[in-house]
Structure formats: C-alpha cells, structure tokens
Amino acid sequence: MKQKEKTKRTAMIPVRKGQIYNIPIDRLGTSGEGVGRYENFTIFVPNALPGENVCIIIEEVKKNYARGRVKEVLQASPKRIPPHCEIYADCGGCQLQHLSYEAQLDAKRAQVAEALTHIGKLSQIPVKETMRAEEPWNYRNKMQFPIGINKGKILVGCFAQGSHNIIDTKNCHIQHTANNDLGNAMRDIVEHLHIPVYNEDTHKGVMRHIIGRVGRNNDLMAVIVTATKRLPRAKDVVRMLRERLPNLVSIHQNIQTYHNNVIMGRDTQLLWGRPTIIDSLGRLNFHISPRSFFQVNTRQAERLYEQTLAYADLHGTETVIDAYCGTGTITLFLAQRARKVYGIEIVQPAILDARKNARDNHIKNAEFIVGDATAVMPALYKQGIRPDVVVVDPPRAGCSETVLCTFANMRPQRIVYVSCNPATLARDLAILKELGYITQEVQPVDLFPQTSHVENVALITKKSI
C-alpha cells in the first residue's frame, strides 16, 4: 500500500531530475533565488529574476518543490545587471549582484511585506521603503575566510554555495579592502612558509581560517585560527604580516581543535600588538576583541540604531529594558536619552563586554544583567520596575511565545523589535497582536547589500482600551 502511495505521489510531480524545462519566474525567494512554477509545481532557481523566462535543468526534486539551474535566460529582466564580481557564479557569499541596487531595495521591502501578509496575516501594517546603504560595496568590517589547499595551491576565500569547496578569493567586493589585503597576505605567507593546511576529512594540518576585523580608523586586527595549539613559525608569520600590512595593529591566534564547522575555539592568544581595536557607533566607542559581536556594516548599523532610538521616542524620563542586549550596543544608544536602561543577556562574556563598553563611554545609567529574559524581567517587575519601552533584538529564530508574554505582562507603552528574519518577525508580531500590542509600521534597513538578508525595525504600541 505504501509503495502504491509513493508511486502515485511520484507520478504527480511533473519534473524530473536532469531534464530541461522553460519556466517563467514570478518572484524572489527568501534566499534571493528566483521562484517559478511548472504545471503549478514550485521550482527554486538561483540567479533568476522576477519577470524572466528561463531555460533550466532540474538538479533536485522533492515532494513539494524542485531546484533548478539556469541554462539560458530566454527573456531577461530590465533590472538584471552584470555581476560586479568575477567569481560570483561560483561563490555563495552574495545572492543578488545580478540585480540592480534599486531593485534589491524593492525586493527586500517586498520580502518583508510578504512575510507579514502570509505568515503573520498582517497585511495592513505599513512597510516603509528599505533604507539604502550609501556604500553598497566594500562595507564588511569583518572577514572569516577558510584556508584550504587544492593540487598544492593554497586557497583563501569563500565557500562555494551549498558546499565546503573553497573559492580562492583575492578581491571580495563586499569586504573592506583591508580584509582583502589580509586574506591575500595570509595566502602568500602560508605558501612561503610551508605551514600545513587543515584537512576536514583527515583532521590533520594546522591552518583553518583567517579572520580580519577593521575599525573606523582603518586599524586592522588579524586572527589566525589553527587546529593545533602551536603555530609553526609564528614569529615569521607575525613579521611577514606586519611587513605586508601597514594598518595592522593586532595579531591573535585562536585555537579550534574540535572536529566541527564552528569557526572559532574558546582559547585565543595575543601574538603581537593591541588586544583590541576600537570602532564607533555615533558618539560611542567600542573595544572589539576577536570574539566580540559587532555589526559588520558600521554605517548602516548606526542608521539601524538611530531608527530604534526614534521608535523608542525617549525624552529622558523613561525606563527601558533591552531584552537581548548582547555586548550592549543598542542599550548604550538608548541610555543616552533614557533615565535608566536594563540590558539582559544570557551569555555572560557578552555582559562583561557590555559593562566594559558602558565604563569606557562613561555611561552610568545602564545596568547589565546576566540571565534569561523570561526569568529576569518578572524579577525586575517584582522589584517595582515598570518599563516604558522594551527593546528586543533576538537571534534569527525570534522570540518564544513565553518571552513575548513576558513583555506583554510588563505592560510597556512601546515595544521596539529589531529583527534579521522577516519570517520570525511576522510570526512574533501576530502573537503580540493577540497579547494587546499593535504594530504601527516596519522599517527595513539594508545592512547587507548584494545579499538576500534584510534587517528590520518594528514599532509596536499597547492597544488603547
């Protein structure tokens, strides 16, 4: 019986792996791929754009959808442009270089509006035009490139889309130029000094990743991730990096001995220079260590936080809770205009960084608490603390319903929700609506040009009785 049902389902799927089909593309998916249909069956096609007719070859078939690869663009969209990057077709770092920047902004706004409508059933919420980046290229202040080897050639660069095959990358167009210089220097040094490269299959070798971080004043930090505690010829590595990179002020070794895909291990050693570099957001300065969280697009992060501050609508008398404060960047922005701000974060090292950031910026009205927001916030409420505003910037998974109920139970006048995932944002806004909170508007912000990712800030207010 089961075999008959399986055969019947297979017969209903109108496409076959390896076969060629012509299909129209209707929209972009959440990962920047084109989405079309063949005999009402959904097909995802990377590098295809809405309004195009494409000839595709089917590479994967599932029960409810298939994936195809563009063989030929039969009718191109007027919004299609030549990709800026010579390895774009192979690299998995960007998804939208073939789409004009104005059209990227429109597509990201549409992605947010569609999520609100279809996931949250919130079609009436205004979604503003995506806040554009003044510099949509070379904006990333942080680089994490794997190091590999192929036929004796050292590779440093991005992973190919959907794989762990390294695409040798000499000029990533979304990376700060100093990070590209670091990657190129590291490739030459590893080859010159014959330092063994880590092999994911055999778990032998030394060099795993090179990480670069660049501050606003162009100070550069290098973090060499190794699979061994000892870095062979460490003094030579340091000397050669310093000779090649005049803006280099800090070199660390991070030790990652585990056989997994986590980039950094727990132990980090300073090999030379300063332990941190300094970056700034507005009037605030932040010490950035190898493991610190800091937004990768500094200029757009400022605009994101300014929008958060605008929605919080602070006048100096308010009490604010920042429920997922991380290293305190948003918290300290809020503290500049609030009476008191409480930052809550379950990761203790992040709270230690947040407290240091507060001291360094001479901010005394921010208090940072280690713990789960669902436990800390009720405890604050029992102490008589009544927040006027709650700010939340959760991970991509969004907030649990328990967390959202905790927010609502404290009855703030406003909730400002910062999100990197339109789908979970839409889900959570729908739950908040049931809890008596109405979303007034959503502002998309383009922190990641040339990619499918979009940040959002939502203004939510308590329903008047």
Q: Report pLDDT digits (tens) over 359-409.
A: 999 999 999 999 999 999 999 999 999 999 999 999 999 999 999 999 999
pLDDT, tens digit (0-9, with 9 covering 90-100), for 138-179 = 999 999 999 999 999 999 999 988 788 999 999 999 999 999
Encode 34-87 in three state secondary structure: EEEEECCEEEEECCCCCCCEEEEEEEEECCCEEEEEEEEEEECCCCECCCCCCC
What residues are designated binding site for S-adenosyl-L-methionine? 295, 324, 345, 393
In this structure, are residues 143 and 182 in contact, taking their beta carbons and an 8 Å threshold? yes
In this structure, are residues 186 and 166 in contact, taking their beta carbons and an 8 Å threshold? no
The yes-or-no answer on residue 55 being catalytic is no
Average the pLDDT over 43-69 and give the result: 96
> Rg (Cα) of the chain, in Å, rounded?
24
User: In the Cβ-directed half-sphere of 58, how many Cα atoms lie within 13 Å?
Assistant: 22
78 pLDDT higher than 80: yes
pLDDT of residue 1: 46
pTM: 0.92
Q: Which residues contact 52 (CB under 8 A, 6 or more apart)?
A: 24, 25, 34, 73, 74, 75, 76, 77, 80
Candidates 320, 357, 324, 355; CA nearest to 337 is: 320
CA distance 24 to 84: 25
C-alpha distance from residue 127 to each of 109, 289, 441 (Å)? 7, 36, 6
9 pLDDT higher than 80: no
Q: Which residues contact 340 (CB under 8 A, 6 or more apart)?
A: 319, 320, 365, 366, 367
